[in-house]
Structure 1
Amino acid sequence: MRALQMARPGGAEHTTVQNIAVPEPGPGELTIDVSHAGVNFVDVMARRGDAGYVPAWPYRPGKEVAGTVRALGPGVTGFAIGDRVAAATVDGGFAEVAVASTAATVPVPEGVPSVQAAAVPLGLATALLLLTDAGRFEPGDTVLVHSAGGGIGGALARLVPLLGSGTLIGTVGRPDRVAAAQQAGYPLAFARSTDLAEQIRTATGGRGVDLVLDPLGTRTLDLDLEVTAPGGRVVLFGNADGGPLDALPPVGRLLGGNLTVTGFSHRGLLAAAPARVARAQQRALDLLAEGKLDAPVVELDSLEDVAAAHDLLAAGRGAGKYVVRVTG
């Protein structure tokens, strides 16, 4: 079968499509004939060699897929060959056949195309978990999202109004990305600059924000705490530039502001509590099936196009959520 492979850390020059053996499912697993696979920034972090993302080289990336069940591992029940499913994969999703744990695999409702379903297991599911589980979102909350023009940022922009409106503010790394954030659904979008805190305070009438969703490591944590209202929450869910992480702020600062700083890792949940990821996947798919949520994607034609999409994400020039057609 055809599969995307990264030979060693670096850039697109080390990413190729290889012919490899078709995998077989083990206990608690199934294999999926992949129709579509989602592209995510975590692929970029793995490609450049960030610590903890690649167990060994060469590495086969790909964290979310949609397709049909090909084979069941020993003792697996609840699925049948030919079922339409979406799954969060540990790796290897950019392939004609992928292995997934049954605990992280859910049925795709009728009416949801595979190209949209493939944007759910990591993308939309992460956005839901950030808001509901980690962020304790409440209707009417003011929400600040960094990297608003990316795939997760776009998913959050569609979910916040659905879950209860509230003011939505996005930030981007450069002024030329403001329009992309606005197009993604952020009525208020600002480039991260020296006067960003003042812009956010003005936008909130001086009150501050209730929830900050931050994939930038600790680089903007001081800003986050400065603009968070009393009782607010800051959720750190990534380290986009791969740099060193600073120490968390003194406890006194958190106590004084009644503030909460929370960490979130989709990968960690998938390993330790896959049922929580599966519930979020199923909820997102059901919302798509009911027409309450949409999942606009940029569809790539083949596995050969994925490395160029990774280049765009690495350069901060991505256009929303990318999904690659594998065999569909």
Structure 2
Amino acid sequence: MRAIAVGPDQRLALTEVPDPEPGPGELLIDVAAAGVNRADLLQRAGHYPPPPGASDILGLEVSGTVAGLGDGVSGWQVGQEVCALLTGGGYAERVAVPAGQVLPVPEGVGLVEAAGLPEAVCTAWSNLVDVAGMRTGDTVLIHGGSGGVGSVAVQLATALGARVLATAGGAERAERCRDLGVEVAIDHRAEDVVDAVHSATDRRGVDVLLDVLGAGALEDNVRCLAADGRLVVIGLQQGRRGEIDLGRMLAKRASLHATTLRSRPPAEKAALVAEVREAVWPMLHDGRVRPVVDRRVPLADAETAHELLESGQVFGTVVLTR
């Protein structure tokens, strides 16, 4: 089959590799499209290696049709349209994945668009609901509301009854966040984020903050939190190491969580996928949540897809297509 390989110079190239075979408990999927995530850019640069035993091919989510069933798999049929959360291997024509990480393509969502759902929805749900314990009526700040995870997270939080604030780079991108349900969209290029949050909340702050920035935003993030606020870090776009004011954290009874999805054991991923299917898939069926796909790029042009994502001009996600 054809797949994208990362060369010694970190360039991406289409190459021929052996077809995967579904092992016990796995499905083989003919890939229609693969989601492109910032984690792929990090892996390409050598900063986010796959877990032991995982494919070294880039790609953490795909959509396609079931092409084969491994031993012990039931409940799926060859030819069924699905999308899947991967540990790697998505930038290819076929991929084998544990059956517990596979989801049916939601009714009303196109097969290609579904490629942008598994990683984003599972990340948003697990961190907002499972980790942060977000509840109806909470005020939530989502950094990067115009990104792949962010664009899903703002819709999910809105659908669950939260008051949603989000940051985005530029007035136009901020306005598009409002179209997704954001009540207060903050252009971080033109506004002071802390001042904007305090103004929007009468200086109370936010109950939950979903952060993709990391070290460079730590101080401001803590200042944005309300009493008993929960800061969840899921990205490191502004650095890995930073200082935090523990006195301010103690005064606010605040908590800090840092999580990643890729390295979780298969059983944990399967439990999360089952939770998402029960809780979020109905929201996709009725339109409360929808995938936000900015561009479709042919698999052979994966280099272009990465350039687009790095440019900061993408709203939502980019998918690679066959």
TM-score after normalising by structure 2: 0.88
SS of 2:230's partner is: strand
Q: Which of the residues 293, 297, 300 maps onto 1:304?
A: 300
Give how far 1:72 is off.
Answer: 1.8
CA contact (8 A) 2:135 2:162 kept: no
Distance of 2:9 and 2:120 partners within structure 1:
24
Counterpart of 2:263, as a letter, is G
CA contact (8 A) 1:66 1:117 kept: yes
Distance of 1:164 and 1:199 partners within structure 2:
21
SS of 1:291's partner is: coil
Distance of 1:270 and 1:87 partners within structure 2:
15
Give the corresponding residue for 2:210.
213
Q: Which of the residues 231, 244, 256 maps onto 2:240?
A: 244
Distance of 2:196 and 2:275 partners within structure 1:
33
Pairing 1:134-153 to 2, within 5 Å after superposition = 134-153=131-150
Distance of 1:316 and 1:137 partners within structure 2:
28
Distance of 1:184 and 1:156 partners within structure 2:
10
CA contact (8 A) 1:300 1:306 kept: no
Distance 1:291 1:199, change over 3 A: closer
Distance of 2:49 and 2:17 partners within structure 1:
25
Counterpart of 1:269, as a letter, is R
Distance of 1:307 and 1:281 partners within structure 2:
31
1:3 to 2:11 alignment? no
74-83 or 91-100, larger mean C-alpha shift: 74-83
Give how far 1:62 is off.
Answer: 0.8
Distance 1:199 1:141, change over 3 A: same
1:155 to 2:152 alignment? yes
Q: Which of the residues 192, 197, 202 maps onto 2:194?
A: 197
1:290 to 2:286 alignment? yes
1:29 to 2:47 alignment? no
Output one character per residue of 1:205-248: Cα deviation in whole Å (capped at 9) or x when no partner.
1111111100112221111111211011111111124x332355
| Structure 1 portions without partners, runs of 5+ | none
Distance of 1:276 and 1:268 partners within structure 2:
14
Counterpart of 1:172, as a letter, is A
Distance of 2:14 and 2:320 partners within structure 1:
13
Give how far 1:301 is off.
Answer: 4.3
Counterpart of 1:6, as a letter, is V
Number of paired residues?
Answer: 319
Give how far 1:104 is off.
Answer: 1.0
The percentage of aligned residue pairs carrying the same residue is 34
Give the corresponding residue for 2:272.
277
Give how far 1:133 is off.
Answer: 0.9
Output one character per residue of 1:238-282: Cα deviation in whole Å (capped at 9) or x when no partner.
1124x33235553x5433211111122121335461123312441
| Structure 2 portions without partners, runs of 5+ | none
Distance of 1:79 and 1:28 partners within structure 2:
11
Distance of 1:200 and 1:109 partners within structure 2:
35
CA contact (8 A) 1:87 1:100 kept: yes
Distance of 2:115 and 2:250 partners within structure 1:
41
Distance of 1:72 and 1:104 partners within structure 2:
14
Give the corresponding residue for 2:314.
318
Counterpart of 1:2, as a letter, is R
Pairing 1:72-111 to 2, within 5 Å after superposition = 72-111=69-108
CA contact (8 A) 2:50 2:87 kept: no
Distance 1:280 1:8, change over 3 A: farther
SS of 1:25's partner is: coil
Give how far 1:308 is off.
Answer: 1.5
Output one character per residue of 1:175-222: Cα deviation in whole Å (capped at 9) or x when no partner.
675445445543423243683322211111111111110011222111
Distance of 1:139 and 1:249 partners within structure 2:
29
TM-score after normalising by structure 1: 0.87
CA contact (8 A) 1:129 1:280 kept: no
1:264 to 2:259 alignment? yes
Give how far 1:289 is off.
Answer: 2.1
Distance of 1:301 and 1:175 partners within structure 2:
26
Give how far 1:154 is off.
Answer: 0.9
Counterpart of 1:199, as a letter, is A
100-109 or 27-36, larger mean C-alpha shift: 100-109
Give how far 1:174 is off.
Answer: 5.8
Distance 1:307 1:285, change over 3 A: farther
